[in-house]
Structure 1
Amino acid sequence: MASYHILRLFSFCFLLFSSASSIERSTSDPSRCNAINSFLPGKVFFQGDGGYNASDESYFFAEARLRPACIVTPTSATDVATTIQVLGGNEQGSSAPLFAIRGGGLLPNIAAANIDGGVTIDLSAMNLTIVNEDKTIASIGSGARWGNVYRTLDAFTLGIVGARIATAGVGGYFVGGGLSFFSPQKGFGCDNLANIEIVLATGEIVNANASSNADLFTALKGGSNNFGVVTRYDVQVFPQGLYWGGAIEYPPSTIVQQLEAFATFKDPRNFDPYAEVELSFFFSGQSYTVANNMFYTLPIVNASALQPFSDIQPQTLNTMRISNTSDFAEEIVAFQPSNPQGFFATTVFRTSLPLIQRIFSLWNDTTPLLQNVTGLLYNLDLQSVPTFIPGNSLGLENAAANGSNHTGSLTICLLSNYWADTADSPTMIFVTQNLLTQMKDAAKEQGLDERWEYLNYASEFQHPIESYGAASQANMRAVSKKYDPNCVFQKQVPGGFKLFTHI
C-alpha cells in the first residue's frame, strides 16, 4: 500500500510537470510582474531598469545572465510570501508562470538561479548575519554571501561550516549539502543547521527544525529548491581562532608526488579531523599547474597531516600562513576567472593510488583536444567527502557504513572548466561528458565506484538526487506532496534538480 501511494504521488507530480513543459518554456506575461510591483513598489525591476541590469550582470557565469520578464528583490520573508502568492495562485498547466530563486548566483547551470521570460526572485537584499546573545547561533539571510558572514563572525572569534569562497551565496549552499574548511570535523554545512525559515507554495512562512516540521527540515538538507523559498538559516557556530592555511602551487614535475601524497592523506588510518585539502590540476591550453588549497583548523604551522603536500618541492607559490576564515575565503576568490563561460561535473569514488593515477591520466589525455579553446582553464580537483553525520537527505548512510564516520576513503572529483567564447561550448561539454563516463568506468573496473553525486558540483545532465538512493527520494517526494500539494516548486521552478522529472 505504501509503494502504491508513492507511485500515485510520483505520477501526479510528473503529470503536472509535464503539463508545464520544460525549462525552454518561458512565460513573458507582464501582468504577474505588474501585480507583484503593485504589492512591492520599488522592489520589482523590469528590463531596462538600472536595478535589473545590476542584478543580471552580477552572476558569476556569463551563461547564467538570462532575461527574465522582471526581477523581484524582496527585503523580508513577508515580501517573498507576497511574491509566491502572486506567482503560485491556483493555475495548472502551461498558464502557470515560471520563476527562479537566486541566492548568490554562483553556479553555472543555466536557469538554476535565473530564467528567461519568467520572474527571478533575487534574495541578495536579505543578507544580514545576526549572532545570538550566547554566541551559539548565527541567523543568516539566504541572500548573504559568505565573505560578509565570515567578516561578522571573525569579529566574534567564531567559526561556522560555510563555503570556502567568499563570493559564494548562502542560499543554495545549505540545501545542496555544503563543503567547508571545517567539514572533516563537522560534516556538511547542512548538518550544522538549527532551523530554517521557509516560504511555502501557499505563501505561508514556517520554521523547520528538529521539533517543528521535522520532515521538511530533513528534506531541505540536500533537497535543493524543491520545497519552497528559504529566507533565513539559523546555523550553529563555535569558538574559532586563527588557523593555518593557504595555497601552494607547484610545477607539473611534481604530479607523481602529488598523487602519492593524496592517496596517503585519504587512507582512513591517517584521518585528521582538522586537516582539509583540495588537490587541483590546471591546464590553460598551453601549460599545466598543480595547486593545493590546504587548511589545518588549529594554529599549528605545517601540521603533520599536511606535510606530505607541504614538503613537495619545488614550489612556485606558497601563501601558507596563520590567518582567519575571511582572509582564506577572499584569497580563493583571487584565483577565480572573471566573467567566464563555465561547466561543472562531478563523480565520487573510493580512493586508491592506482585509481587516482588512472583518473589523472584520463583527464590529461583530453587536454590536447582543448588546446585551441579561447580563455581555457581546465581543472581536475580532488577532495574529501565530509564526515558523515546522520539527519540529512544526502543518502550517504551506505557509504559511511562501508567505511567509518568519515565515509572511509571517499573522494569527490570535480571537473570545473572555464572558457571565454560560446563557440567553444559544445566542445567543452562533449569532452567533459565523455571524460566523466571514462572516469566512472575506471572506478567500476577497480571495484571502487560509488553511486553518489554531490549536488552543488553536479552538471545539468547529472542526477544527484537520484544518486541519494530510493529511500531518500521517497521521503523527499512525500514531503513535497505534503507541503506543496500542487507541485508549484516542481512545475513552476524548472531550474535545478527536480524530484519528479525522471521516471
Structure 2
Amino acid sequence: MSGRVVLFLLASVAAVAQAQNSTCCEALRGSGLEYVYFRDTPAYQERNISYFSVSAQLDPICFVQPTGTADVVKTVNILVKHPACLDTKFAVRSGGHMQWAGSNNIDDGVTVDLGLMNSTTLESNGIAAVQPGARWGAVYEALDPFNYTVVGGREHAVGVAGFLTGGGNSFFSARFGFAADTVKNFEVVLANGEVVNANLNENSDLFQVLKGGGGSNYGIVTRFDMYAVAITKLWGGVGIWDTSYREQHINAHIKWVDNVEKYPPGSTVMAFTYQPVLGGSVILNFHHDTEGHVAAPAFDDFLAIPQVSNTFRIASHTEMADELELPYGYRNVWFTTAVRNDPRIYNKIVDLHNQLTEEWKSEGDPDFMAETNFQAIPRSFTEHSLANGGNILGLDQVNENVVMNLFVIAVRTRDLEVKATEKIKAYGAQIEAFAASVDGLVDWRYLNYAGGGYQDPLASYGEESSAKMKAASAKYDPTGIFQTKSPAGFKLSNSRAGS
C-alpha cells in the first residue's frame, strides 16, 4: 500500500470521527441545553482563548456550558448513553488555569465548560456554597461585603474546582491547611447521572479522595460547601529585591520554613524570576498576613533586606488576589518537586534557574519568562487535614516541614514550547538528582503544579492513598467512564497509582 493511500485512509478515518463527534454535539444541543458552541461561532473562540495557558487551547468539536447541576446531569447522560456520543470523548473545565495541553480541554471531542456555574452564596450556618466554574477573585468579591472569605487560590483567575480537587495551597494554609481540607461537602454528578453528596457522613471515601485526587477521576463536582472564615483586611503584597541579595533571602526562607507553625497568620512565597517587564532577573517575595498585622515580626528577616520596591499595604482578600494575576498569552511549562529545607538544595535550584535563563536567551527569544519559587509545606497541614476527615495527598508520611518548588518557563510559540519542555524535564531531573544526593528529595508532588505527561503526582501520594483512589474510582465509576472516555487531567489509569 502506497504512502499516499495510507494518508488518504487516515484522513478519511479522521473525517468520519469528526463527523460522529459533531453529531454528538448536535445531540447535546437537541436535548435542550442552551449553550452549545461549535467551532465556527464567536462564543466558541471566546471560550477557547480564555484559557490561561495557550498550551491548553485545543480544538474540541464543541463546548457545552451547563448552567446548573441539572444541566450537568443531562450533559453526562447524553455523553455516556446517547448513540451519537458513544465514540466521543470529553473533557471537563472549570476555570481553565491548569497549564498543560490535555489537562482541561480536548481535541476533536466535547469540552464540558463549567464557566456559567459561577455563583457564591454565604449561607446562614457559616457555609459558603461555591459553584465549580467560579474564579477565586469573584468568590472573594462576593464574600467581602459580609466580612467573610474562604480558603482559596492566591490568584484572581484560578478556577475553584481544579484548585480544590488538586489540594490547594493558600494564604490561609498555615492556619487551616490545604484549601481542600476546608470543604465540608462536595456535590458530585457521577458517570451514571446520579447526584451524590460526599462528606464525613455520606460517601466519606469519595469525600477523602476528592481532596487532592483530582475531581475528574470520579465525577463532576457541581458544588463545594466550604467553611467560611471571618475576616476584615489582610496585610501584604509583592516586594522586589535585587538578585545580589540571594543568600540573605535563602537564609530568611529557611528560617521561615522552620518556624512557619509559630506564626499561622503568615504566608510567603519566595521567587527568583526573569521577566522582561521587570527589567530582567529579580527576587520577588509575596508576603501576606491573614489577620492584618502590619509587618509582623515573622517577616523581619525578609523586610530587613534592602528593597527595590514593594506594594505592602492593608487591603481586602479580593485586592490581594487581583494583584497576583499571571500574564495570559504564554505557553507554560512547569515542573514541581518537594525537598527538605536545605540551603544546598535552594542554591542548586537557583543556579539551575539562572542557567536555564541564560540558555534560553541564546535561543534568540526576547519574550519569555522563567521562574523558580519556594513555598513551605509544614507538618501542620497534615494535622489540619486529619482534624477535618483527612485528604488523599499522603503527606502524613512526611514527618518534617518541607519545601515545595515550582520550576517554570513560559514561551510564545508551539515550536519553542517543544524545546522548553525538554529543557524543563532535563532541569527537573537535575534538581531531583541533586536533592537525592544530599538526602533531601521528598517523594511528593503537588498536582496543581505538576507537568502533564512527564510527572505523576497521584503516584507520589503513596501506596495507601493509591489503594483508596483505585477503590473509590471502581465504586463510583465502575465502568471507567472518567478513566477512558474523559481522558483530560491526571488520571489514575495513566498513573502508577492506578496500576
Pairing 1:171–2:170 present = no
TM-superposition CA deviations, 1:237-268 (whole Å, max 9, x none):
12111121101001111112111111111114
Whole-Å separation in 1 of the counterparts to 2:344 and 2:57: 41
8 Å CA contact 1:163–1:178 kept in 2: the answer is yes
Checking the alignment, whether the CA contact within 8 Å between 1:490 and 1:499 is kept in structure 2 is: yes
Q: What do residues 128-147 of structure 1 show as CA deviations (whole Å, max 9, x unaligned)?
A: 1011113x100011010111
What residue is the counterpart of 2:431 in the other structure? 439
Over 3 Å counting, the alpha-carbon distance change for 1:318 and 1:97 in structure 2 is same
- Higher mean displacement: 339-348 or 41-50: 41-50
RMSD: 1.8
Find 1:351's aligned residue among 338, 341, 346: 341
Unaligned runs of 5+ in 2: 1-16
Map 1:169-248 → 2, pairs under 5 A: 169-224=159-214, 225-248=216-239
2:459 equivalent to 1:466: yes
2:265 aligned residue? 274
Instruction: Report the Cα distance in structure 1 between the residues aligned to 2:236 and 2:140, rounded to whole angstroms.
Output: 16
The match for 1:396 is 395
Q: Which residue of 2 aligns with 1:97?
A: 88
SS of the residue aligned with 2:138? helix
1:27 deviates by: 8.3
Indicate the residue corresponding to 1:415 in structure 2.
407
Does residue 490 of structure 1 match 2:490? Answer: no
SS at match of 1:197: strand
Quote the residue 1:77 is aligned against.
Answer: 69
Letter of the structure 2 residue corresponding to residue 498 of structure 1: K
Which of 312, 317, 330 aligns to 1:320? It is: 312
Alpha-carbon distance between aligned partners in 2 of 1:108 and 1:48, rounded to the nearest angstrom: 25
Distance 2:150 2:261 in 1: 25
Give, in whole Å, the separation in 2 of the partners of 1:458 and 1:501.
14
SS in 2 for 1:71: strand
Aligned counterparts of 1:73 and 1:338: Cα–Cα separation in 2: 22
1:121 matched residue in structure 2: 112
Q: What is the identity, as a one-letter code, of the residue corresponding to 2:465? A: S
Equivalent of 1:454 in 433, 446, 461: 446
Match of 1:478 among 471, 475, 490: 471
Aligned residues: 467
User: Aligned-pair distance for 1:421?
Assistant: 2.4
1:326 corresponds to which letter in structure 2? T
Deviations 1:64-118 (A, max 9, x none): 1111111101001111111111111288xx9532100010001111121111110
User: Residue type of the partner of 1:86?
Assistant: I
Q: Deviations over 1:338-358 (max 9, x none)?
A: 311111210001112222122
2:232 and 2:146 map into 1 onto residues whose CA distance is 9
Whole-angstrom distance in 2 between the partners of 1:41 and 1:412: 42
User: Could you list the per-position Cα deviations for residues 193-233 of structure 1 after superposition, in whole angstroms to 9, with x for gaps in the alignment?
Assistant: 01001100001111111101111111111111100011110
User: How far does residue 269 in structure 1 lie from its aligned partner after superposition?
Assistant: 7.6
Structure 2 residue identity aligned to 1:380: T
- Separation of aligned partners in 1, 2:94 and 2:42: 20
Is the Cα–Cα contact under 8 Å of residues 353 and 407 in structure 2 kept in the other structure?
no
Aligned equivalents of 2:209, 2:280: Cα separation in 1: 44
Q: 2:492 aligns to what SS in structure 1?
A: coil
Contact in 1 for aligned 2:337/2:444 (Cα 8 Å): yes
SS in 2 for 1:343: strand
Structure 2 residue matching 1:327: 3-state secondary structure: helix
- Could you tell me the percent identity over the aligned residues? 34
- Give the 5 Å matches for 1:121-140: 121-134=112-125, 136-140=126-130
Query: What residue number does 1:112 align with?
Result: 103
Which TM-score applies when normalising by structure 1?
0.90
**Offset of residue 276 of structure 1:** 0.8
* Secondary structure of residue in 1 paired with 2:406: strand
Structure 2 Cα separation of the partners of residues 26 and 342 of structure 1: 28
* SS of residue paired to 2:121: strand
Structure with the bigger percentage of helix = 2
Partner of 1:7: none
Compute the displacement of 1:270 (Å). Answer: 6.8
Query: Aligned equivalents of 1:90 and 1:451: distance in 2?
Result: 43
Instruction: Please give the alpha-carbon distance, in whole angstroms, between the structure 2 residues aligned to 1:241 and 1:90.
Output: 50
**Counterpart check, 1:55 vs 2:47:** yes
Matched, 1:160 2:150: yes
Superposed CA offset, 1:171-210 (max 9, x none): 1111100011000111001100010011000011111111
Q: CA deviation at 1:459?
A: 0.3
Q: Measure the CA separation in 2 of the matches of 1:327 and 1:364.
A: 31
- Which secondary structure does the structure 1 equivalent of 2:78 belong to? helix
Code of the residue aligned with 1:120 in structure 2: it is T
2:14 equivalent in structure 1: none
Normalised TM-score (structure 2): 0.90
Change beyond 3 A, Cα 1:219–1:274: same
| Matched letter for residue 119 of structure 1 | V
Question: Given residue 43 of structure 2, which amino acid in structure 1 is its aligned partner?
Answer: G
Unaligned runs of 5+ in 1: 1-24
1:383 matched to which residue of 2? 375
Query: d(CA) in 2 for partners of 1:27 and 1:440?
Result: 46
Change (3 A) 1:305 1:482: same
